[in-house]
Amino acid sequence: MAVHLYPFIRNMDQRQSIFVFENNDRISAFLIDQWKEISGEAIRRRGVFSVALSGGGTPISFYQRLAEDPHAFPWNKIHLFLADERFVPHDHPDSNYRMVRQTLLNKIEIPRENVHPVPLETPDLQSSAEKYEVELTRFFKLSPGQIPRFDLILLGIGEDGHTASLFPGSPALTEGKHFAAPVVLDHVRHQRVTLTLPVINQAENVLFLVTGENKATVVRKIVDQEDFSLPASRVHPGSGNLFFLLDQEAGSQLTR
């Protein structure tokens, strides 16, 4: 692992890195550089870059910066998925797709077929998860037994240690067969569809983006204590890279 107070580096494990930045602008700048590097390598190797984006408020400034120059990236070779989605219409205020559309998609020229939202025109939550799995299988051209391998998955961490829509105690946490799983929560937090841990841990690169003093305790539990009861602690790409991108407040309780 490596710990960085931008640009300070301390090496601990070559496949896991922790970066602590002065502010969100620094985080977004670093993310842009990572996007360029990872997408460029993927497109050189396979002609396409696949990424699963997170929702919530934390990545908004990054998506806005990503869209500042609509011609900076070959969007015709980039395919965007969602790490999770609430089971609400795409124009609902709580929709992750709506947020990504407003902050990024409406400002770039990306082919419609390159955007892969969670299917919500389904009779129920289970059907939505099943259709998303079918789309993942189709896009990645998977044979039976294979798992999608994203070039990049961008995730957040909640105060309770959840990531994507994998919450403590949720049956989705132990899903080992399916790529997408239904998640039933209370009416305030909505029902959801989420990528499962086998998919997340198959990715070539996973980036946790975490900001705010309210996340400092859970970050310490995940990074310092490796508390396996917290879903985010179970994210360990088997042959990929794991990054924690923190602001100073979120990283303030780290001891190593």
Full set of structural domains in the chain with CATH:
2-244 (3.40.50.1360)
pLDDT tens sequence across 155-196: 999 999 999 999 999 999 999 999 999 999 876 678 999 999
pLDDT of res. 15? 80
Full DSSP string of 32-92 = HHHHHHHHHHHHHHHS-EEEEE--SSTTHHHHHHHTSSTTSS-GGGEEEEESEEESS-TTS
pLDDT tens sequence across 225-234: 999 999 999 9
Query: Which residue, 159, 135, 141, is CA-closest to 46?
Result: 141
Residue 243 CA to its chain's centroid (Å): 11
State mean pLDDT over 214-224: 96
pLDDT tens sequence across 42-85: 999 999 999 999 999 999 999 999 999 888 999 999 999 999 99
CB atoms within 10 A of CB 64: 14
